[in-house]
Amino acid sequence: MNIKKIVYWLATLLMCALFLFSAGMYLLKYEMVTGFFKEFGFPVWVIYPLAIAKILGVVAILSNLNKTLREWAYAGFFFDVILATAAHYFAGHGLIGPSLFGIVLVIISRIMLTYRK
């Protein structure tokens, strides 16, 4: 197993774990997440659809059934972590946090995708 394949799988599994953790928080800690969404000025009705989209994105990336769907999942994850980082920053939480780590993981996973086989 070469190093590029290891980097791909490590980044991808950590990325997927981050998004599954996030989706789990959205589904299991709804009241807490609602507070964050209200603080950021986001509509709370989007919490459940966003959680489902994150789960489906992980499935699309790990299953590798459809290349176009996988690319859309990467794009969705990228926009999610960019917007989450901006929301936390403008709410006064700073830049450093799980969403910034998510940006790095999404970028590494997508770049290393070509080396996974």
Q: What pLDDT is attached to residue 1?
A: 66
pLDDT digits (tens, 9 = 90+) for 31-49: 999 988 888 888 999 999 9
Q: What pLDDT is attached to residue 117?
A: 65
Give me the residues of the chain with pLDDT under 70, please: 1, 117
Q: What pLDDT is attached to residue 88?
A: 83
pTM metric for this prediction: 0.88
What is the rounded CA–CA span in Å between residue 79 and residue 58? 15
Q: What pLDDT is attached to residue 113?
A: 87
DSSP single-letter state for residue 97: S
Which tokens go with 75?
């794009």
Each domain of the chain, given as residue ranges in start order, spans 3-115
